[in-house]
Structure 1
């Protein structure tokens, strides 16, 4: 695909991109003051214009993202971008609550915060930026985006598309902005800027801790290590398809993707057979396990960043393992104490842990998930086990008999969100979470019961 990279030239900066923190924030504040006078329907019209303009660029954005970050694959990024654009809710998410009685009426409505500082990861830079922008604008806010330095160019490009779409629709410029270059210092300056009203962070623990110390309202997405349980009652063929679908999607850099499999021993071999039929490379010998461990982990048992988000075939090649077919996922037979299970492996490599029964499977899954309460999935035909697992795991996203992607609305019901706020408790965040809940009371009347 022939991609025009002229925007990457710093001398051709356009709408929405600034060289200094103060200029960016003040421009967003000025734009927000105009935007705050708009009606809900006018907000939705602006959001629809943004979606229309972005849908024309999804392939271009996907290619740019893979080229700049070196992670994931174009096909899945296109699907992810379309999901963010089409299924992130707008003003319809802003629910009004009313209580009436003999003494009058109390109305609860959601109003804007102001200008939001939105911090994004390098793993899902554009889908997160787009989804959060739609929700934040629906709630009536302005936005200052803080992209990861590893995705700064494509994030600037997407921000410019959004800013121009807004300007062309309603005449307001710089309602959504970002910086020409970003760093931890710049992000800290934006978070603590007096004109920033809220900080929304999707990424690592370090930036989340800094956000929590900013003195602002914070929505914080923490780490995760999603696991999936497969018991002896499961539809094994479907479970295998779903696991490969979720764990291989965009080379497993999604925070919700299955990072480990805990299977009841009686069906584990059958599950492996089905996984292999779905383009999995299965490892069950010490030699290949050691090769993969050395290639994908550092000496201190942390993730080898150079293989983060790479394809399964690239990982096997780096480990010196010969594979003559194209594969989607590597599954390694191991124990729950292995780093493949305890470290969030942001690559299409997952461990398979065999256990005696469902009760041990649930205990093991809880241990592997490490209390992050992010995402978990289960494959079982037992209603009782489905319910027990959901209660015990207590994750923000819990999927029963489906791929993890169902948890964010991909081929499933429910809205799409790419910021799963586990630390601050909002879960999958949408427009209503980027708004203030206000109470207005009226005495005497307005009850018709």
Structure 2
């Protein structure tokens, strides 16, 4: 790039000044919102560190940045930019975690820190884009991973900045640019995060507007993204309604939908291990993660021991007469007779939920447990709350049958606690989930306390699985015929 020394100095000074200023929650709110009595902000054609007033402007800016990114930057330069993103993100996660809780009213601060560190440290960069080569008498064949171009990424309220960080690293590592449409209930913290990451990109020598968004996200923007010829790939992380909408967009789509992960505790399980790991996973960030344990199927011989050890971990067992009271508080009865989640209680602390029905548990309590039948709404509806239903089963076969029904074909996540390899194998084949964990919390399946890389976009419905940079690229083949370049 042909930039003068004076221009470089000006850019660096501007970026350093922006990064060195500590932004408080109050300062942030003055940047990203305005009161009803004030005039809306003027149409900003240039954008503010990747944030635009119109989605068309956000697309156009990302389109120009992507051409620059793929034309003028080598792979090692992508790596340098991504490492700076990691560095700057680490410096800001405490602020972002506080703001997420303030804005979304969901989850636990200490768990959000752990999630952020996981996506910052364990999301792969360009190193997973491995070129494959084959030679023979007929020539040399190369297959490489090339960018799609500009990606439209829809992010959830449950993991707002975690998904932006994770998607940004994976998508720009593949040579793409990204236009985000964030969840409206997390737009302030997402704006701050995206602007900070753009500063990190520019500080490391990358192009401006490599990631963009609109200040006011909306469903209308999603339609415009889907209709734009400059958008080459749609990526959605969230509920199945959103994923299905993207799948009908006519664009190539990667969809990460809902889950309702079941857990089996069979006759051979280590009950203390099962209780400690299930408590850890089901209470983590108040159970708002799609891959968190949502219901447990325990064989009768282990039921009392399992409940005892869950209570020992800190879980609060509600009695039979309290279960319906809790159900009416946190669920909503629909006109068709089925139940749906009362969103006012999603991601709330266990103690807060218990207090709403007149139960005062120790403040250390992170999880509510109850014994219910297999067809109970707590089992069949994905809650995203720290409420874990336990279903008594006569044996492993019954537990497996009921667990498959509860998972409802989402093929997202499941786990088992067992020492029987045959049981592990049978359940894996029956449940067909993208993530399958044995003898640990399910979050180990995405690299949080387990091996393997981390992602917040688990593409079960469209088959990409635990996404990384490779997921957001196209395989391209180059063939040199007539035995060219061979030395034998």
For each residue in 1:172-208, what CA deviation from the matched residue of structure 2 results, as whole angstroms up to 9, or x when unmatched?
A: 1111111111111112212221111100000122222
Q: Which has the larger radius of gyration?
A: 2
Structure 2 residue corresponding to 1:202, chosen from 227, 230, 237: 237
Aligned to 1:151: 186
Structure 2 residue corresponding to 1:276, chosen from 303, 311, 317: 311
Q: Classify the secondary structure of the residue corresponding to 1:298.
A: strand
Alignment of 1:194-233 (within 5 A): 194-233=229-268
Contact 2:101 2:109 (C-alpha < 8 Å) held by counterparts: yes
- Structure 2 distance, partners of 1:95, 1:390, is 29
- Does 2:321 correspond to 1:321? no
Contact 1:223 1:372 (C-alpha < 8 Å) held by counterparts: yes
- Structure 1 distance, partners of 2:206, 2:278, is 46
Aligned to 2:458: 420
- Structure 2 distance, partners of 1:324, 1:2, is 35
Structure 1 residue corresponding to 2:67, chosen from 25, 33, 40: 33
Aligned to 1:404: 442
Contact 2:25 2:99 (C-alpha < 8 Å) held by counterparts: no
- Structure 2 distance, partners of 1:295, 1:75, is 27
Aligned to 2:174: 139
Runs (5+) with no aligned partner, structure 2: 1-21, 33-40
Q: Classify the secondary structure of the residue corresponding to 1:109.
A: strand
Aligned to 1:94: 129
- Does 2:343 correspond to 1:305? yes
Aligned to 1:347: 385
- Does 2:275 correspond to 1:240? yes
Q: How far has the Cα of 1:445 moved from its partner?
A: 4.4
Aligned residue-pair number: 448
- Structure 2 distance, partners of 1:286, 1:236, is 23
TM-score by length of 1: 0.97
Runs (5+) with no aligned partner, structure 1: none
Alignment of 1:332-343 (within 5 A): 332-343=370-381
Aligned to 1:377: 415
Q: How far has the Cα of 1:214 moved from its partner?
A: 1.9
Structure 2 residue corresponding to 1:3, chosen from 18, 21, 24: 24
TM-score by length of 2: 0.89
- Does 2:156 correspond to 1:121? yes
Q: Classify the secondary structure of the residue corresponding to 2:195.
A: helix
| Worse overlay, 184-193 or 262-271 | 184-193
Alignment of 1:105-116 (within 5 A): 105-116=140-151
Structure 1 residue corresponding to 2:326, chosen from 282, 292, 298: 292
- Does 2:436 correspond to 1:436? no
Contact 1:16 1:175 (C-alpha < 8 Å) held by counterparts: yes
Please identify runs of 4+ aligned residues in structure 1 that moved more than 4 A.
Answer: 445-449
- Does 2:160 correspond to 1:160? no
RMSD: 1.6
Structure 2 residue corresponding to 1:23, chosen from 33, 46, 57: 57
- Structure 1 distance, partners of 2:139, 2:468, is 31
Structure 1 residue corresponding to 2:295, chosen from 260, 265, 268: 260
